[in-house]
Structure 1
Amino acid sequence: MEEAHSSRYSIHSSSKKMYHNLREVYWWSSIKKSIAEFVAKCPNCQQVKVEHQRPGGMAQIIELPE
Structure 2
Amino acid sequence: MPISKWKWEMIAMDFVVGLPKTLGKFDFIWVVVDRLTNSAHFIPVRIDYNAEQLAKVYVKEIVRLHGVPLSIISDRGTQFTSKFWRKLHAELGTQLTFSTSFHPQTNGQS
Normalising by structure 1, we get a TM-score of 0.28
- Between Structure 1 and Structure 2, the one with more strand by share is 2
Question: Which has the higher Rg, Structure 1 or Structure 2?
Answer: 1
Normalising by structure 2, we get a TM-score of 0.21
- Between Structure 1 and Structure 2, the one with more helix by share is 1
